[in-house]
């Protein structure tokens, strides 16, 4: 893929994480390499490694170095998205406003802050 630039002159992202995840279904076998991703998406191996690393940081893929190469595989989807509703965080009493509130009503604000500002 050629590097496209925006009107401001900055490079535009042309390889998305979704593109990289799709390669796992295209390549035969249980693992892929950054070379597989680079070849399939016509990008540099560095771009492929960076995107695979982002997916690993998100818990969507796992990796292991073997025989001088890093191999990547899809993480178990059940473990990535599993939420335990009995986790105490969802029923903990908080006092951030001076009054007790049910934390489960404000879990997004507690974890990520108010994004509407």
Residue-wise pLDDT tens digits, 32-67: 999 999 999 999 999 999 999 999 999 999 999 988
Query: Domain with 60 in it: what CATH number?
Result: 1.10.10.10
In a domain, 2, yes or no: no
In a domain, 10, yes or no: no
Q: Are residues 29 and 58 in the same domain?
A: yes
Q: Are residues 60 and 94 in the same domain?
A: no
Among the ranges given (10-14, 28-32, 64-68), the one the predictor scored with the smallest mean pLDDT: 10-14
- The pLDDT assigned to 80 comes to 45
Contact 36, 42 (CB under 8 A): no
In a domain, 5, yes or no: no
In a domain, 3, yes or no: no
Q: Quick one: pLDDT band at residue 2, thresholds 50, 70, 90?
A: very low
- The pLDDT assigned to 67 comes to 84
Q: Are residues 70 and 48 in the same domain?
A: yes
Q: What percent of the chain has pLDDT over 90?
A: 44
Q: Are residues 26 and 70 in the same domain?
A: yes
Q: What is the chain's mean pLDDT, rounded?
A: 78
Considering its fold, how many domains does the chain have in total? Answer: 2
Nearest to 71 by CA among 62, 83, 59, 60: 62
* Residue 36 domain boundaries: 17-76
In a domain, 8, yes or no: no
Residue-wise pLDDT tens digits, 65-87: 988 899 999 998 654 445 566 76
pTM of the model: 0.58
Q: Is residue 16 classed as helix, strand or coil in its secondary structure?
A: coil
Q: Are residues 104 and 61 in the same domain?
A: no
- The pLDDT assigned to 100 comes to 58
Distance, in Å, from the CA atom of 24 to the CA atom of 33, rounded to the nearest integer, reads 10
């Amino acid at each position: 893929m050629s590097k496209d630039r925006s009107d401001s002159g900055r490079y535009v992202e042309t390889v998305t994480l979704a593109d990289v995840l799709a390669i796992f279904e295209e390549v035969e076998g249980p693992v892929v390499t950054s070379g597989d991703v680079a070849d399939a998406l016509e990008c540099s191996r560095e771009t492929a490694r960076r995107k695979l690393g982002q997916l690993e940081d998100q818990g969507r893929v796992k990796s292991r170095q073997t025989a001088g190469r890093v191999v990547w595989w899809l993480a178990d989807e059940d473990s990535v998205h599993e939420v335990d509703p009995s986790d105490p965080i969802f029923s903990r009493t908080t006092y951030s406003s001076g009054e007790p509130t049910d934390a489960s009503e404000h879990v997004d604000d507690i974890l990520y802050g108010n994004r509407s500002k």
